[in-house]
Amino acid sequence: MSEPLAVSSLIACHECDLLHRRMVLPQGGVARCTRCGAELYANPRDSLNRALALTLAAAILFATVNFFPIVDLDAQGIVTKATLPGSALALHDTGMTSVALLVFTTTVLVPALLFAAMLYLLIPYKFGRTPPMLPQVLRAVHMLKHWGMVEVYLLGVLAALVKLGHLAIIKPGPSLWLLAVLVFVLAAAVSAFNAHDFWHEGESSASDLSA
C-alpha cells in the first residue's frame, strides 16, 4: 500500500472503517458499505443543476416565510399573530433568552446560513469556478444540515394549533403553507447536493496546477 495511486482509488466507510474500492456509479446510484450498509458516496442525477434550482427555490421560500404570519389567533376579537422569527422574539421578551436563542438558531439562523453556504458553492461551480474557502464552507454545510430544524418546527406548529384549537379561533397564515412546501423543497435540495462533486473538482484543478 505504498503507492499513493492505490490509496486514492479507495474509500473507508465512515461508520465502520471498512475499505472499499471506488467505482463509477450510474446516474442516481448510491454506493453502500458492504459490512454496515452506510452510504459511502452517491451520484445524484444532474446534481449540480438540481441542487442549484432547488436551493434557490428553498431560499426564496424561506425568505418569504419570515415575513408573513404562520398562524393568527382570534380570541373574542383580539388577534395575535405568530411569525417564524416572532416566536423566538416572544420567548426572549419573557426572559428565556437561552430557549429563545435555541429556537432562533435552529429555525432562522441555521437555515439562512445553510442556504447562503450552499448557494456560495453552487453558483460559482455552475460557471466552472471553484469558490475560495471551499473546504471550510463545505464543512459548514455538513454541520448546518444537522442543526436546521424547519421540518420539526412545522410539526410543532401543528401541535400548537391542536392545543389552542378549542380555546380560540385559529387561522392558518400564508406562511404555514409556504413552510410546508419549504420542508419538501429543502429536503430535495439537500439530497441533490453532492459534496463529492466539489472534491473531485478540487482534485482535477490541483492536478492541473501541478502539471
Partner 1 sequence: MSRLPITAASLGLLSCHDCDLLSKPTDGQVAGVCPRCGAHMHLRKPNSLTRTWALLITAAILYIPANLLPVMQAGSMFGSQKDTIFSGVVYLWNSGSAPIALLIFFASITVPLAKLIALTYLLISVHRHSQKRPLQRTQIYRLAEFVGRWSMIDVYVVALLVTLVQFGGFATIEPGPGAIAFGGVVVLTMIAAMSFDPRLIWDPIKEKHD
Is the dihedral angle over the CA atoms 100, 137, 27, 29 positive or is it negative?
negative
Distance CA 123, CA 130 (A): 10
CB 63 within 8 A of CB 205: no
Q: Which of residues 24-63 bind partner 1 (CB under 8 A)?
A: 31, 34-38, 41
Nine-digit cell string for 38: 452506510
Amino acid at 140: A
CB-wise, 13 or 192, nearer to partner 1?
13
Rounded to whole angstroms, how far apart are CA atoms 1 and 21? Answer: 13
* Shortest distance, position 70 Cβ to partner 1, whole Å: 8
Encoded one letter per residue, x for contact with partner 1 by CB under 8 A and - for no contact, window 141-180 reads: -x---x--x--xx-xxxxxx-xxxxx--------------
Region near partner 1 per CB under 8 A, out of 58-66, 81-89, 118-126, 178-186: 81-89
Task: Report the site for partner 1 in 102-141 (rule: CB under 8 A).
Answer: 102-103, 106-107, 134-135, 138-139
What cell was used for 35? 459490512
Question: Which span (1-9, 42-50, 59-67, 108-116) binds partner 1, by CB under 8 A?
Answer: 1-9
Nearer to partner 1, 56 or 164 (CB): 164
Enter the C-alpha cell of residue 175. 406562511
